[in-house]
Amino acid sequence: MSSYRAPWWLPGRHLQTIYGAVALRPAAPPYRRSRWETPDGDFIDFDHLDGPADAPLVVLFHGLEGSSQSHYATALMHALAHRRWRGVIPHFRGCSGAPNRLARAYHSGDADEIDRILRHVAAGESVPPFVAGVSLGGNALLKWLGREGTNAGARVRAAAAVCPPLDLVAAGAALRRGFNRLYTREFLRTLKPKALAKLERFPGLFDRLAMEDARDFDAFDDLYTAPAHGYRGVLDYWTRASSKPDLVRIAVPTLILNARNDPFLPAAHLPRAHEVSGSVCLEQPEGGGHVGFVSGAFPGHLRWLPARLIEFFEAAASERVAAGPVPIEPPAMG
C-alpha cells in the first residue's frame, strides 16, 4: 500500500509526469561543488548540501540527462536542509555542465560507477550514507545492490530507487510508442549533441550520419551507448543492464517506488513480491507518472516524495541500530 494519491486536478500519466518537472521545480539550495579526479583519467563533479558533520548524509544518483538542478533533486535537498541533514549529488559523466574527457559517458547498468562513487563518498564518512537513485540512477543503484549483496551494507545504510526502468527492453519499447515519443525526442535533444561532440574528439566512435538520423533509443543506444560501454549492441545492453533480475539478491533495506501509470515502464513489467528479496519494500501507487508525485491543492507541491524517502531511511536506520552497526570497509586504493 502507498500513501500517495495523485490530485484530482492532475489526471493522467503524462500530466503527472510533466507538470512537476516544468511548473513546480524549486530553486536549488546553495550547493558546494567539488571535483573528483577519477583513476581512469576522467572526473566526476559533486554538488554538496552541507550541514552538521554528524548529520545523516543522503547520496542521490540522478536520472537520464538529470543533474542537481532536476526537480526531484532540488525538492529532496530542500527537505534535507529543513531537517539539517546533509546531501550530495554525484553527476554522471557529462551531466554537470562540463563534457567529460573520455569516449565513455554513463549508462543504466553501470554498477561499477556506482561502486566507485560510493567508495569515494564513504572514505570521508564515519557511518554509511543513505542512497537514493532516480530513474536511470535508480536502475544502476539496484544493479550494484544486487551485485554486492551483503557487502553493500558496509557502504549503504539503506537505499531507495524511484521509478527505475527495471526492464529496459520493455521501457525501450514503451518509449517508441505514441505520446512517449515526445519524451524520447526531448532526451535525444541533448544526448545526440553530446555524442557528436565526442565523435569530434574520438574519430571513428560511430557513424555520424546514422547518429544524426537517430530518432529513438534503439538507434542511439546501438550506435553509441552499447559499444562505448562494453556491450555488443542495444539488445545486449538493455538485457544485461536491466536491474529486475538482480532484485532477489539485494541484502540492505531498499525501497523500490514505481507508479503503476509510469509511461516509461508499463505496470505489467513491475516486480512482484516473489521477484525480490526480503530486504526490498515494493511500493507501487496507482498514480504519480514518471518521477512526478505531485500533491496538494492546485498548484500543488513536490513534498511527498522527499518525505517518503526520509521516512523510509529513518525507519531502516532505527532497525539497523537495534541490530548493531555494520563497519565501513576501507576504500579501495588507486
The whole-number average pLDDT for the span 195-204 is 97
pLDDT single digits (tens) 80-128 = 999 999 999 999 999 999 999 999 999 999 999 999 999 999 988 999 9
Sheet strand arrangement including 130-134: 32-37, 43-49, 86-90, 57-61, 130-134, 159-162, 254-257, 280-283
Helices (H) and strands (E) in the chain, counts: 11, 8
Helix or strand (DSSP H, E) at 60: strand 57-61
| The predicted structure's pLDDT at residue 1 | 76
The whole-number average pLDDT for the span 69-78 is 98
pLDDT tier, 182 (very low <50, low <70, confident <90, very high otherwise): very high
**Inter-CA distances, 55 with 41, 122, 127, 149, Å:** 32, 14, 10, 26
Domain 13-165+243-323, what fold? Rossmann fold (3.40.50)
Cα separation, 189 vs 209, in Å, equals 16
Q: Given a cut of 90, is residue 25 above it in pLDDT?
A: no
β-strand pairing of 43-49 with 86-90: antiparallel
What pTM was computed for the model?
Answer: 0.94
pLDDT tier, 329 (very low <50, low <70, confident <90, very high otherwise): very low
The CATH 3.40.50.1820 domain(s) of the chain lie at 13-165+243-323
pLDDT single digits (tens) 246-292 = 999 999 999 999 999 999 999 999 999 999 999 999 999 999 999 99
Q: pLDDT higher for 133 or 327?
A: 133
| The predicted structure's pLDDT at residue 324 | 40
Which residues are part of the catalytic machinery? 135, 262, 290
Q: Given a cut of 50, is residue 133 above it in pLDDT?
A: yes
